[in-house]
A and B are shown apart, each in its own frame.
Chain A
Amino acid sequence: MSQTAIQQAAVTPAQKISTGGVKKGRNTGTKVITANDLFSGAVIYWTSERTWTEDMAKALVVSGDDAMAQLTVAISDEGRSVGPYLMDIDEDGSPAGRGKLRERIRDAGPTIHPEFARQRKEA
C-alpha cells in the first residue's frame, strides 16, 4: 500500500463489507471473492475470466474499489453462485485475517473428515 493510500485509509474508514456467515469486516487489503456453487453447494472462487473455480490458487486477487466492482459483477451472476463475499488473503494467496480458520476449512473440507478433502488435479 502506498503512503497516500495509507493516509486516505486513515481519513475515511474503508467500506463495511460482509465477510461470510454473519460476520462483517472492512474492505482493506487484498481479497478474493468466494461463494457457494448453486447446484452442489461447493466452495467456489471468482476468476479473472469472470467465471468460478473450485481451486483457490486460480482465484482473482482484488483490492479497494476494484474489489467492490468485481464483487458487484460476481453477485449479479446468480445463475451459478450463492452469496458471494470478499475474503482476506495474504501475500502468498492463503486465507488471512479473522476469517482465516473458516476459509481454510471451507477450502479444505471438514477437519474431522480428511477423506472428504477436495481432490485437485496437479497444476
Chain B
Amino acid sequence: MYRYDDYDRAMVADRVAEFRGQVERRISGELTEDEFKPLRLMNGLYLQLHAYMLRVAVPYGTLNPDQLRVLASVARDYDRGYAHVSTRQNFQFNWPKLKDVPDILDRLADAEMHAIQTSGNCIRNTTTDPFAGAALGEVEDPRITCEVIRQWSTFHPEFTFLPRKFKIAVSATEEDRAALAVHDIGLQIVRSDGGEVGYRVLVGGGQGRTPHLGVWIRDFLPQAELLSYLEAILRVYNIRGRRDNLYKARIKILVDAMGSEAFAEAVEEAFVAFRKVGSGGSVDLPQAERQRISTFFKPPALPAVGETSRNNVPSNARFALWLKHNTHPHREDGYSSATISLKAPGQAPGDVMAEQLDAVAAIAEKYAFSDVRTTHEQNMALPHLRTDELFAVWEALDAVGLGEPNHGLISDIIACPGLDYCNLANTRSIPIANRIQERFADLERQATIGELKIKISGCINACGHHHVGHIGILGVDKKGEEFYQITLGGSADENASIGEIVGRGLSTDDVVDAIERMVARYLERRLSDKERFVDVYQRLGAEPFKEVLYGEAVAA
C-alpha cells in the first residue's frame, strides 16, 4: 500500500495543527459556530443528534493492521468501543468529544490517516473495488489512480469550494464493484486496441432526491492526461454548476441541463485549453511521480501453492455457506479473496467493535499479507488469502462474530444511520434492517433466495443507496410517523439501474411482511435458482410484486 513520505506527513501534520487552533478558537469564543462549522466539516466533524461524529478517510478502502489497531484504540479511548464502515469506504466514530478530536487526529496521523475532505463541498474520498490488486481480469491496480487522485484533490486550490460535494470512483475490471454509474465521475481503467492503458470516463451519476445514472463522455483517455481531464470537468462544473439550490447543485443536474454532448464538448474545450498552457500550468503528473506511486502497489509476493483443494476442509455447514457466498476468485491459482460481513443478525450494518478490529488486524498479519479493505457495501474484505487456509481464516473470524456467511444475501443490507443518529433523517433505518435480518435469520433460507440486495435510506438524501437496491426502502415521515416506500429493480453494478417506486408507503410493522411476500412471489416465478430476484424483476416487471405488496388476495 502507499506509504507517506515527508511531504505527505507534513501535509497532514499541518492540517491537524491548523484544526487544533480552530478548536481552541471556538472554545475560547474567538470563532462563532457559524464560522467554525464549515471548518470542522472540512475535517469530517459533524454534529449529529446525540454527539459529534468524526468521519475518518480510508483512501480507496485500503488499510494495514497497524491502522486497524489505531482505529480500535480510538474507538476504545475516545468513543464507545465501536466504529462504523460507511458507504464511502470510510470509518465513522459516533461519540467523540470536541476537545479530543485534535488528539484523535494526531493519533491517526501517526498511522498515516486523516479526516481531510470527508465532508464539505469538495472532492471526497475516491472509492474503488475492494478486491483491487487481487481481482481476476484487472487491467491494472486501480489504487494507483486513486492515490494519484487523492494527492491531486487534497487541498485543491480551485476545487475546495465547489457547488456541492464531489465523488469519484475507479474500477479496473469488466465487473463493476465500485458503483461507477452513481458517481459524479466514474473512471473505468481500460486497454485501447493498441494495448495502451487509459480511462473510459463517466460523469453525472448520483443518488439523492433526483437519481441519475452517469453518462460516458470519453471512450479513451490516455493515462498521462488524467489530471488535466479531471480538472477540465471540475472547472466546467465549478463555473457552471448551480449554486442557488442545494438540491440542484450536483454535477448530475448540470450534465442533464446542458445535455451530455454539450457538456462533453465544454470539457474538451477546457481540456484543450489546459494542454496549451504546457509546462508550469499543466497539472499532469510527471511520469516519474506516477512511477513512484505505482511501486507502492506492487502485489504482495504470493508463494506458489499450486493445485490446492477447496474440498480439503472439514464439513461445516456454516463454513460451506461462507465459502460459497463470501469468497471470490483471485487472479492467482491457489488464492482467494473474501468478504468479512459486518451484517451479523442484530448488528447495525457496518458497525464493528474495537476487539473485532484488533482480531482482523491479527488475522490479516497471519493469513492475509497484512492487506485489509473496507467495502462500499459496509463490509470489510481480505483480498489475498491462500485458498487452503480459508477454513482457518473463517474460524478465526467466526470466533469474534465476523464469520456470518451472508455476503450478497438478503441480510447483507446497506442502511444509513437514520434517525437513530442523523440530524437530517426522517425515519430510522437500522431497526428495519434488523427486523429483516431477524425474519430471514435462517441461513439455508437466505441461500435458497440467493443474491438479493436490500438498501435502506432514512431520508431522500439516499445515503443508504435505496435507489440502487434490488429492493430499496426509503423512509418517509407522515405527520411524525415513520413510513417506508419500496423501490424495485435498482442495481449499482455494470448493469446499473435506478429502482422503480412501487406504491404508497408501508408502516414499520408492514414493511417486513411485504418483503417476505415479494420474496415468496420471486421464488414462485423464478425459472431456476440461477435467476436472481433482480433478474425476475427485469423479465416480468414490477406487476407481480405489486400484486403482493399490500397483502391483497393473490390472483391465481
| Interface residues in chain A, defined as those with a beta carbon under 8 Å from any beta carbon in chain B | 20-22, 36, 38-43, 78-79, 82-83, 97-102, 105-106, 109-113, 116
Extra 20 A-B pairs, beta carbons < 8 Å, given A38-B26, A105-B428: A20-B423, A21-B423, A36-B47, A38-B27, A38-B98, A39-B99, A40-B51, A41-B47, A79-B29, A82-B47, A97-B480, A98-B480, A101-B482, A105-B420, A110-B50, A111-B431, A112-B348, A112-B420, A112-B434, A116-B50
Size of chain B's interface in residues, with CB distance under 8 A?
33
B479 within 8 Å of A (CB atoms): yes
* Complex Cα–Cα for A67 and B327 (A): 59
Closest to B48 in A: A41
Chain B neighbourhood of A43, CB < 8 A: 49-50
* Complex Cα–Cα for A20 and B480 (A): 13
B340 within 8 Å of A (CB atoms): no
The one of B33, B48, B419, B428 that contacts A78, using a Cβ cutoff of 8 Å: B33
Chain A neighbourhood of B97, CB < 8 A: 39-41
Min distance, Cβ A94 to any Cβ of chain B, angstroms: 13
* Complex Cα–Cα for A52 and B374 (A): 40
The one of A78, A99, A113 that contacts B32, using a Cβ cutoff of 8 Å: A78
B52 within 8 Å of A (CB atoms): yes
B424 within 8 Å of A (CB atoms): yes
* Complex Cα–Cα for A102 and B428 (A): 9
Closest to A79 in B: B29
* Complex Cα–Cα for A38 and B29 (A): 11
* Complex Cα–Cα for A3 and B291 (A): 79
- Quick check: A41 and B420 within 8 Å, CB to CB? no
A-B contact pairs, 6 of them (CB 8 A): A21-B424, A36-B47, A38-B27, A42-B50, A105-B420, A110-B420
Closest to A102 in B: B419
Chain B neighbourhood of A79, CB < 8 A: 29
Min distance, Cβ A32 to any Cβ of chain B, angstroms: 16
* Complex Cα–Cα for A7 and B32 (A): 40
- Quick check: B50 and A106 within 8 Å, CB to CB? yes
Q: Which B372-398 residues have a C-beta within 8 angstroms of A?
A: none
The one of A41, A42, A101, A116 that contacts B419, using a Cβ cutoff of 8 Å: A101
Min distance, Cβ B168 to any Cβ of chain A, angstroms: 27
Chain A neighbourhood of B479, CB < 8 A: 98
- Quick check: A83 and B98 within 8 Å, CB to CB? no
The one of A82, A102, A116 that contacts B33, using a Cβ cutoff of 8 Å: A82
B324 within 8 Å of A (CB atoms): no
Question: Which among B27, B51, B427 has the greatest number of chain A C-beta atoms within 10 A?
Answer: B51
Min distance, Cβ B127 to any Cβ of chain A, angstroms: 26
* Complex Cα–Cα for A18 and B52 (A): 20
* Complex Cα–Cα for A83 and B46 (A): 13
- Quick check: A102 and B29 within 8 Å, CB to CB? no
Min distance, Cβ B457 to any Cβ of chain A, angstroms: 15
Min distance, Cβ A106 to any Cβ of chain B, angstroms: 5
Min distance, Cβ B493 to any Cβ of chain A, angstroms: 29
B134 within 8 Å of A (CB atoms): no
- Quick check: A78 and B29 within 8 Å, CB to CB? yes
